[in-house]
A and B are shown apart, each in its own frame.
Chain A
Amino acid sequence: MTPVLKLENLSVALPRGGAMVSILDNLNLTVNAGEMLGLVGESGSGKTIAALSVMRLLPPRARITGHAWLDGQDLTALDERAMRKVRGRGVGMVFQNPLSALNPSKTVAAQIAESYRVHNNVSGTAARTRAKELLGEVGIVNPGGKMDDYPHQFSGGMRQRVMIAMALSCAPKLLIADEPTTGLDPLIARQIMALITRLRAEHDMGVLFVTHDLSVVEEHADSIHVLYAGKSVEWGTSKAFFEHPRHPYSEALLGSVARVGQARLQNIFGNLPEPESRPPGCRFAPRCRYRQPDCDLAYPPPDSSAGTTAACLYPLAATARATYAEPDHRRAYTPGPAQLEIQNLEVRYTSTATFLRPASTLPPALADVALTLGRGECLGIVGESGSGKSTLGRAVLQMISYSGDIILDGQSFATLRGAEKRNLRKKIQVVFQDPRESLNPRIKIGDIIAEPLRLAGKTSNLRDQVATLLNRVGLNPEMAEKLPGGVSGGQAQRIAIARALAAEPELIVLDEPTSSLDVSTQAMLLNLLKDLAVDTGLSYILISHDFAVVSYMADRIAVLNAGRIVEMNDTAALISAPQHDYTRALLGAAPQLRDLAKMSASATII
């Protein structure tokens, strides 16, 4: 094994509030030729900073110390001119959002050819030929016909392929992929991962894969390196890690990944420490359930007495994982009386007429949707983007016009007008995907939560009511005085939930409520939603592209494809015995579910 990339005590400090703050501390790792290393961590762990510092793409005032050896050459010692040669030729890079990384005004062939010509002295025709070859290599069908298209003419997955083609144009020894599949549909993400895996084998290329998604690492990476708050906590081969994680943080992280058949996700209490106030000892200690007094004294030395190396004084024994279990809050769901009925729902979007083009009718976004939701039930809606799952949510919320009937508590929305309709509509509340968008940045959190109360005229003891609501979603009542700008994504979602609860709804539509959150934050939020349902008898419609999340939460799942429900069944039955090909494909793209299908089947028998 020849090492392609070797990081030695790589540290990065960035200017923050006038002082240099250490973001990444003494990172040591090696990526071998033909090998994929998964650099894993939650937001704020420093994983992206690590990747960018290898390429020296950090702001000019950043301070990088230590060494980054690429093929025996120390990148930290190179000047900017030499570094430019390394970018692209020595190292290829793929980012999370391909649309913002591609130039919208140039054809994809021109962009690939450009990066090829910058590093090779070749003619335009030769570069074009190379671009065509590369597009073929990354799996673009009919590369000759597509090469002169612009990025907006490609789908998300295809754009990511174009990015990969650009990264590969000079046959780099190392590919740095920073969350390349985040934001893609599961099926597409799976194809991209397969592509990266194939290319690294063909080109004997090392891959530094930066991600928060443990299941992708488990499936594709040879080795893993887990970061927490800028420090390595555990590293080793991927196989050893997933068989027996030894650091309590790794264990907690794995425990917070939603899986079917799991009684309860693990809560990692507390928050990630800010870079300025990281604890002197083990950085995870304040949140660790196995914390001992000496954990706080100094950063623990690496311990490699078992499969992986863990920076922990008390690494977990192989049996430890099984001994700890969160209390089981699962409720046995028995279908109650129907609360919500949807009959023959159809939604069509029409393109508006313009001067040159008459209005045309597009294929329906939703067609023939019929379902019933029982009181207290959580119904999961799964599908890819464009499947109509968000449209279904919006129709239920009465945000868009539709044909067909939606009946809540025996009252049909179609027959109601004005105040009567508004009052019925109020019983259905919503939590959106983007925590930043769902709160008005100029209104104090307390006022946001008080909004439903004010609108309903329940203004007595407003402060106390708001404090109670904040407590119910696990937030400190003091937060009422803050503006939303100062809170984290997870906190913002809790505030959105508190606002929804303040309207005393019967049903909450959860539209991808956790998909922009970190795994551990997601786990806590999902647990909160489960507890709220148990306490209040709320029903949920949970919309998500993440089969694992839905299977953890939902009593029943409906699979949506191209605007139609292709399969609907109890969660356990749907996962253990999917009937439709599309369901099977979606399940296949959710790695953490594949092995567990059997387990859940046996769990339901009990």
Chain B
Amino acid sequence: MSTTILQRPPGLAAAPLGKFVAWLTAKNTLAAGTILGLLILFVGFAAPYLYPVDPYAINPTHALEAPSAAFPLGTDELGRDELALLLSGGLATLIVSLPAAILAFFVGVAYGLASGLGPAWLDKILMRLLDAILALPSLIILIFFASLVTLNNTSLILLLGFISWPSLARLVRNETLAQKNRDFVLATEQLGAGKFYIARVHLLRVMAPILVVNGTFMVGDAIFALSALSFLGLGVQPPQVSWGSLLESGLDIIALNPWWLILPPGLLVFGSLLAASLTGQGLLAKFGGTR
């Protein structure tokens, strides 16, 4: 992990877009990402109170209406209120992707530490296994397993959690290898400390910036993966909607040009990814210098 990727190339600053990028990549990245992220979280979880409209109330007389005062974001082909659907879909998306990201985070850290600190043979086995998993595109694995199991929140959390940990595990393993022979770790070993102590007190603390940054990115990845699965019909199952499935149903009738059914879910997925990415990059810029 290096911070150099965040430095803007010289000359960019002169252009208006460059100025915007410079503004974003300066200290404001973190603020912008955090605010956007918190906003999405707040709206997702407070939805039933903010906009108490039943998302599943079918109303054929108002099918496919464009946004109006009665329906702020219009209705779908069944006459359901699109805003209510989006809010409900957001909650469904978040309650699966956040636990999935957390699960993946802990699995990745534990796997990486075990591989980096364990004996050489264990490292070899764990890393070859990781290579095997990484060799297959994660979406293919997802689709394969999603077609095998009954899809509910628990199985989705496990599925999504399972596919996004390998890259973090590899990162943690490499970082562990780089850190474990530093003098301060050797000095602690000399004091009689065990591997768990070294991992907990020294390695995790030194790696904290990397972990925080990548943890943030993983939330974005999980949201994206879930939306992709739902889009393919393998994610959150009907009648419950999610951003991915809403986008898919809008695209089904794209011939009728229902832009209010396509743009909002797409923008929300994009917004969550942006929030996670900005927060991550902001944290990286903040901690990057103090390794």
Question: Which residues of A pack against B, CB within 8 Å?
Answer: 397, 399, 422-423, 425-426, 428-430, 432, 434, 437-443, 448, 451-452, 455-456, 485, 496, 499-500, 503
Contacts and interface: CB of A to CB of B under 8 A. Distances in A.
Contacts of A440: 184, 202, 205-206
Given A399-B189, A430-B186, A441-B291, 19 more contacts: A425-B192, A429-B187, A430-B190, A437-B183, A438-B183, A438-B184, A440-B184, A440-B202, A440-B205, A440-B206, A442-B208, A443-B202, A451-B193, A451-B201, A455-B191, A496-B187, A499-B187, A499-B191, A500-B187
A437 B191 contact: no
B259 interface: no
14 contacts: A399-B186, A422-B192, A426-B192, A429-B190, A429-B191, A430-B186, A432-B187, A439-B184, A441-B290, A442-B208, A455-B197, A485-B290, A500-B187, A503-B191
Given A440-B202, A440-B206, A443-B201, A423 B187 contact: no
B76 to A, nearest CB: 52
What 3 A-B pairs come out closest when comparing CB atoms?
A437-B183, A438-B183, A432-B183
Contact of A397 (B188, B190, B208): B190
Interface string B213-242: 000000000000000000000000000000
A354 to B, nearest CB: 13
Contacts of B190: 397, 399, 425-426, 428-430, 503
Nearest to B209: A442
Contacts of B186: 399, 430, 432
Interface residues of B, number: 19
A492 B202 CA distance: 17
A503 B192 CA distance: 10
A583 B124 CA distance: 45
B205 A423 contact: no
A451 B189 contact: no
A443 B192 CA distance: 18
A425 B188 CA distance: 12
A422 B197 CA distance: 14
B9 to A, nearest CB: 18
A443 B197 contact: no
A429 B268 CA distance: 57
Most B CB atoms within 10 A — which of A438, A456, A485? A438
A131 B74 CA distance: 78
A534 to B, nearest CB: 24
Contacts of A499: 187, 191
B289 to A, nearest CB: 11
B192 A441 contact: no
User: Of B182, B190, B197, B205, which is in contact with the most chain A CB atoms at under 10 Å from its CB?
Assistant: B190
B191 A441 contact: no
A583 to B, nearest CB: 30
A437 B184 contact: yes
Contacts of A438: 183-184, 187
B193 A455 contact: yes
A451 B183 contact: no
